[in-house]
Amino acid sequence: MTVHFFAINNIGRGLSGGDSIWINLAKRWSICVHGSRQALDTFGGSGELVCNYEPKNKFSKWGIFTNTVVKLYKGVEYVIKNKNRFSNMDIIYSVSDFYPDFIPCLLLKLLKPKIRWVAGFYLFAPPPWSSTYRADRLRGLGYWLSQRVSYPLIKRFADCVFVTSDIDKDKFPKTVVVRGGV
């Protein structure tokens, strides 16, 4: 049995709370990381490169959009080409609910139903009309809309979901509350 981490969505070398969690978990477990160049560099460990793309204007709306599309495509392509390398005894872990991280795991779960899928879902996007997104309502709308797809799919197909708050543990059938990967 191998634990496979899918960390494809990373942009740049910044460290979010979700990144801190998966990196701490990866350092403690015997795992294989499948990720973008940015994720592997941030991890500082070995892994399998899935995508070497980094948008020019990383945090612009266009940069975030192209990052998502290119890395999602590369992640799905990687799973299709390598699906036979994953055994029914493996555990796969999507490090976030962003499409490039969770869609490849969903696809593997559908192709090999006996695989155990653990999904990271650390932040529930507030509705875009809330005061949280005063400065950038379009970005808030995009994130909120993306979770209208990711949340029900993860809820239905993931075997377990990692959340960071006791408040969120009832939002999925099986959850584990994790803080900082400890």
Q: Which residues pair with 91 in a beta bridge?
A: 3, 116
CATH code: domain of residue 173: 3.40.50
In a domain, 182, yes or no: no
Q: What is the 3-state secondary structure (H, E, C) of 59-85?
A: CCHHHHHHHHHHHHHHHHHHHHHHHHH
In a domain, 95, yes or no: yes
CB of 132 closer than 8 Å to CB of 92: no
In a domain, 34, yes or no: yes
Kindly give the confidence (pLDDT) of every residue in the chain, 182 residues in length, as a single tens digit, with 9 standing for 90 and above.
Answer: 788 989 998 776 656 767 778 877 877 776 889 999 888 888 887 789 999 888 778 778 888 889 999 999 999 999 999 999 999 889 999 999 999 999 999 999 999 999 999 999 988 888 877 766 666 777 778 888 999 999 999 999 999 999 988 888 899 999 999 876 54
DSSP state of 29: S
In a domain, 144, yes or no: yes
Q: What is the C-alpha separation between 32 and 39, in angstroms, rounded?
A: 13
Both tokens of 136, joined, read 């950038």
Q: What is the C-alpha separation between 138 and 58, in angstroms, rounded?
A: 16
The count of structural domains within the chain is 1
In a domain, 135, yes or no: yes
Q: What pLDDT sits at residue 159?
A: 98
Q: 48 is in which domain, residue-wise?
A: 3-177
Please state, as a whole number, how many other Cβ atoms lie within 10 Å of the Cβ of residue 157: 15
In a domain, 140, yes or no: yes
- DSSP, collapsed to helix, strand or coil, labels residue 92 as strand
In a domain, 24, yes or no: yes
In a domain, 46, yes or no: yes
